Amino acid sequence: MTLGLTGTDGRKTIWSKEPCSKEPFSPLLGSASPNTSISRFRVFAVLVAVVTTGLFTSPALAAAAAKTKTVAFSGHYSGTVSLLINNSEVMISSVTGTGTGTPSLVGASSVAGTGSASATAQCDPFSGTGSITGAASKITLIATKSSSTGCSSGESGPVTVTFSGVAKITGASGTAKGATGSLHFKGSFKLSNTSGSQSGPFSVTLSGKLKVKR
């Protein structure tokens, strides 16, 4: 479109105004074109690739992964368990024993623990806390009623009690410092009776995969 105006001095000014482009301009993509959507997709894909690559090769994440390793724990212990049985209430007053666990974590070591249960059936859940202590390390654990069970071979007289469950690590120090995870345990103990104060021999095996610091 051409426009003209005459000024007070008689001179005529003429200029041309071209239609404005309807295509938007992007500083990243340039003027829009039939291939705009394709170009935008390509740019988006490149940005995603760059960000993702940076994320998974982050020095912080790589360092964190390098600081831990998985160690298979295996241990066997035997000793004495002492209980106070009062009708349906059972107090596990002490568990003490010795044995050997994975050398890199505890090696020759001792176990100790306490717990409680309600004896209302042949098999009942129990809970308790315990520890595994080596020459240069210690691992503390907790077992809950939702993951531990004990079963008696009878209601009176000499009985054998079998037990099993999962104990979660709540702390670790020394050569086992930073250890996390859970240990599966399975064992048994013998009692001469099912009431009053009772003590008897026990044995237990523990196993599991733990995450530990390198």
Per-residue pLDDT of the chain (214 residues; tens, 9 = 90+): 544 555 555 555 554 555 544 544 444 444 455 555 555 555 555 444 544 444 444 555 555 555 889 999 999 999 999 999 998 899 999 999 999 999 999 999 999 999 999 988 999 999 999 999 999 999 999 999 999 999 999 988 899 999 999 999 999 999 999 999 999 999 999 999 999 999 999 999 999 999 998 7
* pTM greater than 0.75: no
User: What value, to the nearest 5°, has the Cα angle with vertex 175 and ends 171 and 178?
Assistant: 35
- Domain borders along the chain are 2-66, 69-213
Name the nearest CA neighbour of 170 among 138, 145, 147: 138
Pairing of strands 30-31, 108-118: unpaired
| Correct CATH for 69-213 of 2.60.40, 3.20.20, 2.40.480, 1.10.40 | 2.40.480
Separation of alpha carbons 25 and 36, rounded Å: 11
